[in-house]
């Protein structure tokens, strides 16, 4: 019996020692990632052991009851855990959100309290070790967090938002999150990210005398993702209806977008709709510019109904119905079928190197610039947002096709 107790005690001690070593290494790595390895090296072993007791609990992702048994819940948690333990893509340092919150943020708060206490207690000399090294580390930590990593928590939440948006279905369900803080003890605060799923509102509308399903746009450009999108009527230029018009869309709009810009990130759609740039088309329809970053790639076309806005379709920038596309069509004398045949109605044509460089198409490229479409030839094809699959050969096809048109001389085509 005594031997069993001794063996169990030793196992507990070994486990505690292993946990202590792991936490010490974790603190060391976080300090090095923050560029504070030299300052941390001046802290003695007693001080480092003291730091272990100050760490915050690990941030936790908590799935709602509706998600916890879902088939994709394990993949979702793995993805979020990767984000937690990866450096922010928006920063120039290697500190992970996990290290920032659990280690650096926690230690900076406690070292600040230590500094304030040393100023009030005359028995403590801030110039004596080990207090001096701790105070210097605390100052360096606060400088790092205010200068080099002031927004790391916001960046982390944006990455969580992006991941949830990528796993959402805009015509079915939207994954949402809420940040909460729990205090397991007065000195420690646990960051909790609660994940839930919201069903997208669906209704029907008469379109071309046929009842069709339409869906409330609920994917937001920035957190939170909870409420559906609506636009104030003064921005829409109408005097009737509610103060804010809920925004609905047909599946056809998303299908046309994905057809003309394969692989398009839905968050770019959310940004374009949440911060709308309206264009006048003169025929009663509503045009909303679609951009990826600063690059305008087309428009969502829709109508203002009595109590809602309905987005019907997506038009690539060169297509009829867009101001730029109408101008280009008049200059080239091309029909809708011509655009489809030459693939001028999709992004892949403009990312092909031949269309960008073939000397026979210089006049065509000049015309694109005059019509407000020239930037399509300057998109960075190494950026995954603009990289497009394609069979090639558009330059040869365009050269032959345009040379037979009424404007071949103006385009300086052979």
Phi, psi (degrees; rounded to nearest 5) at 296: -80, 125
The first and second tokens of residue 367, run together, are 């015309």
Give DSSP secondary structure letters for 301-328: EEEE-SS-EEEEEEEETTSTTSHHHHHH
Cβ of 3: how many Cβ atoms within 10 Å? Answer: 7
Report the candidate in 231, 204, 205, 229 with the shortest Cα–Cα distance to residue 218. 229
- Taking the C-alpha atoms of residue 384 and residue 377, their distance in angstroms, rounded to an integer, is 16
CA dihedral 125, 127, 133, 134 (to 10 degrees): 30
pTM: 0.79
- Taking the C-alpha atoms of residue 136 and residue 148, their distance in angstroms, rounded to an integer, is 17
pLDDT of amino acid 245: 94
How many residues can be counted in the chain?
Answer: 414
SS3 9: helix
- Parallel/antiparallel/unpaired status of strands 230-232 and 210-216: unpaired
SS3 355: helix
Q: Are 246 and 229 in contact (CB under 8 A)?
A: yes
SS3 47: helix
Per-residue DSSP letter, 348: H
Q: Please list the residues that pair with 186 across neighbouring strands.
A: none
Half-sphere exposure of 70 (CA within 13 A, CB side): 17
Phi, psi (degrees; rounded to nearest 5) at 11: -65, -40
Handedness of CA 222, 223, 227, 233 (dihedral sign): negative
Q: Are 197 and 173 in contact (CB under 8 A)?
A: yes
Give CA angle at 84 (81, 89), nearest 5°: 125
- Taking the C-alpha atoms of residue 11 and residue 322, their distance in angstroms, rounded to an integer, is 73
- Per-residue pLDDT tens over the stretch 86-126: 998 877 788 999 999 999 999 999 999 988 888 888 787 87
Alpha-helix residue ranges (DSSP H) falling in 34-171: 37-41, 45-52, 65-68, 73-84, 97-99, 106-120, 131-143, 152-166
Q: Which residues have CB under 8 Å from 74's CB, separation 6+?
A: none
Q: What is the mean pLDDT, run by run of 10 residues, along the chain of 414 residues?
A: 72 85 95 94 92 93 92 92 91 90 93 88 82 92 87 90 89 91 84 93 90 92 74 89 94 94 88 90 79 94 92 95 91 84 88 86 89 92 66 74 63 53
- Helix (H) or strand (E) run with residue 204 in it: strand 202-207
- Per-residue pLDDT tens over the stretch 284-334: 689 999 999 899 999 999 999 989 999 999 999 999 999 999 999 888 888
Q: Which residues have CB under 8 Å from 75's CB, separation 6+?
A: none
pLDDT of amino acid 12: 81
384-to-44, 79, 165, 264, 265 alpha-carbon distances in Å: 47, 20, 17, 9, 10
Cβ of 110: how many Cβ atoms within 10 Å? Answer: 19
Q: Which residues have CB under 8 Å from 274's CB, separation 6+?
A: 220, 221, 222, 229
């Amino acid at each position: 019996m005594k031997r069993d107790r001794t063996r169990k005690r030793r196992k507990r001690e070994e486990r505690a020692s292993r946990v202590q070593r792991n936490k010490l290494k974790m603190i060391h790595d976080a300090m090095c990632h923050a560029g504070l390895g030299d300052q941390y090296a001046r802290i003695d072993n007693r001080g480092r052991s003291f730091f272990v007791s100050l760490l915050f609990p690990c941030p936790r992702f908590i799935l709602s009851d509706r998600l916890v048994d879902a088939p994709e819940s394990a993949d979702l948690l793995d993805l979020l855990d990767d984000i937690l333990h990866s450096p922010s893509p928006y920063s120039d340092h290697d500190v992970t959100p996990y290290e920032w919150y659990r280690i650096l943020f926690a230690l900076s708060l406690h070292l600040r309290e230590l500094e304030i206490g040393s100023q009030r207690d005359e028995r403590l000399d801030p110039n004596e070790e080990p207090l001096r090294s701790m105070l210097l580390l605390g100052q360096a930590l606060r400088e790092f967090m205010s200068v080099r990593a002031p927004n790391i928590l916001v960046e982390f939440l944006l990455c969580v938002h992006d991941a949830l948006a990528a796993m959402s279905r805009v015509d079915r369900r939207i994954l949402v999150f809420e940040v909460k803080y729990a205090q397991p003890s007065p000195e420690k605060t646990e960051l909790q990210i609660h994940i839930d799923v919201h069903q997208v509102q669906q209704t029907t509308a008469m379109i071309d005398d046929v009842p069709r399903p339409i869906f409330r746009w609920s994917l937001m450009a920035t957190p939170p993702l909870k409420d559906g999108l609506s636009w104030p009527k003064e921005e829409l230029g109408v005097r009737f209806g509610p103060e804010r018009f809920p925004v609905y869309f047909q599946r056809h709009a998303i299908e046309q977008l994905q057809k003309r810009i394969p692989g398009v990130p839905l968050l770019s759609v959310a940004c374009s709709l949440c911060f709308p740039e309206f264009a006048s088309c003169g025929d009663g329809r509503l045009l909303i510019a679609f951009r990826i970053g600063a690059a305008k790639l087309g428009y969502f076309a829709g109508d203002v109904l009595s109590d809602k806005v309905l987005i019907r379709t997506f038009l690539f920038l060169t297509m009829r119905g867009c101001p730029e596309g109408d101008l280009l069509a008049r200059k080239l004398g091309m029909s809708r079928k011509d655009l489809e045949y030459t693939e001028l109605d999709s992004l892949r044509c403009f990312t092909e190197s031949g269309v960008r460089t073939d000397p026979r198409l210089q006049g065509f490229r000049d015309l694109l610039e005059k019509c407000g479409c020239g930037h399509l030839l300057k998109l960075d094809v190494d950026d995954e947002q603009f990289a497009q699959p394609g069979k090639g050969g558009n330059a040869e096809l365009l050269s032959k096709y345009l040379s037979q048109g009424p404007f071949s001389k103006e385009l300086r085509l052979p």
